[in-house]
Amino acid sequence: MNQVGVGFIGCGDVASIHQTALSRIPSAKLMAVFDLDEGRRQKLGAKAGARVCRSADELISAEGVDAVFVLTPEAAHHENVVRALSRGKHTFVEKPVSFSREQILHWIQLSVQNSCQVVPAHNYIHDSTLRSAKEMIAGGRLGDIHLFWMLFMLVLPPEIRSRIPGPLREVMIHHFYSLLYLVGKPLSVMATQSDFSGRGSRQADQAMVVCNMPGGGLATLFASFSVDDLTSDPWTVIYKVIGTCGSTAHSWSQSRLAERPQPIWDLPAYWATFEQEDRYFIEQCVLEGKPPLSRMQDALTCLELLDAAEKSIESGALQAL
């Protein structure tokens, strides 16, 4: 097999991003799409030249579909992931993959039983700069890691902000899996948040998690939906890893676009991670059988980190992992 046929379950905004990414990957072809909303599935199918299916089962059984992208809202992930894995399809699951440990464990079991991969959509770490940083850290070139920082600041349009949770649940999944990828699992976490708009705990505007790392290092994870950084070197998305023998940094702010493909993003670095992620899944995971950069076991640990952070906010106390 030198080209992987892909099926999309879910045809919303993120599906459109993945369709664009796959169109740039010669070893992938979008073969079929399905969405409960007929208008969305017809629109994406026409754009991609893909078969429009009337059910998820029809899509999974469609001729030429080797891998399935589950791109629905999180509440519908489990049933569709189980469908795909039960038919032996390599399965890619958008973030957040699930808020249920039992569901994720079931997926891992099914993937082993049916000799197929199930991969979380952890796109940020596929950036080439972060992959180089990972090599330097793993190779000991930065020495002992004392500090890890990941910052995210972006004001969201009201129509988006009103329908999503706060940054702890909506965006800090990226912080958690980036932390695991680059420097490992913390020993304990302390978290806090602020709610300027009065939406309540689950929709608070800002969140911060401070992690105690093995060896004594600290990791600080911060995200805000309430302010933009308007300085000449904005903290829109920033990574820093500081060790005893060296440091590395990564920012999304080197380039910007006049045209925004979506209301909130004019940053090419964001869009590039989808193509890099999809290319790795197709070429390395599906065609070569290699493990993903981030596994479902990492998704389980991210869920553990989220639970500990929420307990810390509620109790005001440090939470051990």
Tabulate helix, strand, coil % of the chain (nearest 5).
Answer: 40, 20, 40
pLDDT, tens digit (0-9, with 9 covering 90-100), for 51-82: 999 999 999 999 999 999 999 999 999 999 99
CA dist 65 and 84 (Å) reads 10
What is the DSSP secondary structure assignment for residue 53, as one 8-state letter? P
Q: Report the pLDDT value the prediction gives residue 261, as an integer from 0 to 100.
A: 66
Place of tokens 């994720």: 104
Topology annotation, domain 125-251+302-320: Dihydrodipicolinate Reductase; domain 2 (3.30.360)
The model's pTM: 0.93
Q: Reduced to 3 states, what is the DSSP secondary structure of residue 7?
A: strand
What is the DSSP secondary structure assignment for residue 265, as one 8-state letter? B
Q: What is the CA radius of gyration of the chain?
A: 20
Architecture per CATH, domain 4-121, reads as 3-Layer(aba) Sandwich (3.40)
Q: Report the pLDDT value the prediction gives residue 61, as an integer from 0 to 100.
A: 96
Q: Reduced to 3 states, what is the DSSP secondary structure of residue 124?
A: helix
Residue extents of the structural domains in the chain: 4-121, 125-251+302-320
In this chain, the answer to whether the domains covering 4-121 and 125-251+302-320 adopt an identical fold is no
Instruction: Please provide the average confidence, as pLDDT, over all residues in the chain.
Output: 94
CA dist 99 and 256 (Å) reads 33
Task: Give the sign of the dihedral formed by CA 308, CA 98, CA 250, CA 290.
Answer: positive
pLDDT, tens digit (0-9, with 9 covering 90-100), for 87-127: 999 999 999 999 999 999 999 999 999 999 999 999 999 99
